[in-house]
Amino acid sequence: MDPLVVQQVAQRATENVERVIVGKQREVLLVLTAVLCRGHVLVEDVPGVGKTVMAKAVAKTLGLGFKRIQFTPDLLPSDVTGVNVFDQVTSRFEFRPGPIISQLVLADEINRATPKTQAALLEAMEEGQVTVDGVSHPLPDPFIVLATENPIEYEGTFPLPEAQLDRFLIRLSLGYPGRANELELLQRQHHGHPLQDLTQVIGQSDLIAAQQAVREVHVAPAISEYIVSLTEATRQHEAVYLGASPRGSLALYNTARAWAAIKGRDYVIPDDVKALAEVTLAHRVIVNPTARVQQLDSRAVIAEILNRVPVPGAQPAARR
């Protein structure tokens, strides 16, 4: 499969989404990377920077079925997965699917729900199905959860459990757009929101072909060893209480392949791994209390590890 297929799909999709999301090309590409890997995305940022709009724009661009779940403290697991309702005409229970039954699900402000409700997503995100009253119901393909969350310092938020965080392929932040981009944003919305005019530009067949092409991207043994070395380093770092899991290694491996294909290559280079290390590993790393006192977070740990671990093919500097 030609990797240029992936590059063309990513370019057309990015240009379309950027009609709505201004100045965030890398972040849009990261979301597309997750879609190509059939993985889930966690977007952590303050309110009002375009998290929800980006999810809707990606769904429209790719022609995916879209559902939105507003997470609140009183949301129940059955409000997410669905319920069995007794039909008096047929004298049977019928399954009424919840909003999780869709291709792209926006879990808005996911950390405002209780841990019990957050746990309702675990089976869906890992196994592509939901189980209600002992009966499993498959989810559509592709199935992508794009969750948004406010910083934990905000009132009314619950920290996501480690098992929940580990199921997100990528975590990213949008950040403020910058002065020039914000002015451009005002101009674009002078007569209406551009999201209303956004159309599908990627067909289902093109998306499937791109996903298949990503699986054929070559990863040399030295690159695989580099990925595992980075993950192992998170478990051995002095500031870390809990390091990245093997699922973290798989996440970095798969996203590096997608990133290489987006760049038009059919092989992975160390720069692909370095570009994706923070967004795939940092949310899987928990720093210890001493590091928190020193204001050292998991992103800083990953940056330090990238400087420590030798890059394949690179020669160490000679000591004087």
Most confident of 110-114, 162-166, 211-215: 211-215
| From 17-31, 226-240, 282-296, the region with the lowest mean pLDDT | 282-296
Query: Nearest CA to 70 among 113, 40, 31?
Result: 113
CA distances from 144 to 53, 147, 265 (A): 16, 10, 25
Q: Is the pLDDT of residue 221 over 60?
A: yes
CA geometry: angle 144, 162, 68, nearest 5 deg: 30
Please write down the long-range contacts of 195-201, taking CB distance under 8 Å and 24 or more positions apart. 195/20, 195/53, 195/56, 195/57, 195/60, 198/16, 198/19, 198/20, 198/57, 198/60, 198/61, 199/16, 199/60, 200/60, 200/61, 200/62, 200/63, 201/12, 201/13, 201/16, 201/61
Say what the pLDDT of residue 297 is: 87
Are 1-201 and 217-312 the same fold in CATH? no
Say what the pLDDT of residue 317 is: 44
Q: Is the pLDDT of residue 156 over 80?
A: no
85's CB contacts (< 8 A; 6+ apart) are 93, 94, 95, 96
The answer to whether 97 touches 84, Cβ cutoff 8 Å, is: no
**217-312, CATH topology level:** Helicase, Ruva Protein; domain 3 (1.10.8)
CATH homologous superfamily of domain 1-201?
A: P-loop containing nucleotide triphosphate hydrolases (3.40.50.300)
Q: pLDDT averaged over the chain?
A: 88
Say what the pLDDT of residue 36 is: 95
Mean pLDDT of 151-156: 62
Mean pLDDT of 149-175: 80
Mean pLDDT of 164-190: 88
| From 71-75, 100-104, 188-192, 297-301, the region with the lowest mean pLDDT | 188-192
What's the rounded Cα separation, in Å, for the pair 256 and 260? Answer: 6
Residue 141 CA to chain centroid, in angstroms?
16
Q: Is the pLDDT of residue 314 over 90?
A: no
Q: Output phi, psi for 198, to 5 deg.
A: -70, 135
Query: Nearest CA to 158 among 166, 167, 149?
Result: 149
Question: What's the pLDDT tens digit per position in 11-23?
Answer: 999 999 999 988 8
Say what the pLDDT of residue 276 is: 96
Sequence spans of domains, the chain? 1-201, 217-312
Say what the pLDDT of residue 152 is: 60
Say what the pLDDT of residue 176 is: 87
Q: Taking the model in full, what pTM does it have?
A: 0.89
Residue bearing the bigger pLDDT, 50 or 279: 279
The 3-state secondary structure of 134-156 reads: CEEEECCCCCEEEEEECCCCCCC
Q: Is the pLDDT of residue 76 over 60?
A: yes
Strand partners, 218: 267
Residue 309 CA to chain centroid, in angstroms?
25
Say what the pLDDT of residue 318 is: 45
Using left for φ > 0, alpha for ψ between -120 and 50, and beta otherwise, residue 297 falls in beta
Say what the pLDDT of residue 101 is: 93
| From 19-23, 117-121, 179-183, 267-271, the region with the lowest mean pLDDT | 117-121
Say what the pLDDT of residue 184 is: 86
Q: Is the pLDDT of residue 274 over 90?
A: yes
Say what the pLDDT of residue 295 is: 80
Q: Half-sphere exposure of 73 toward its Cβ, with a 13 Å CA cutoff?
A: 4
312's CB contacts (< 8 A; 6+ apart) are 220, 222, 223, 225, 226, 270
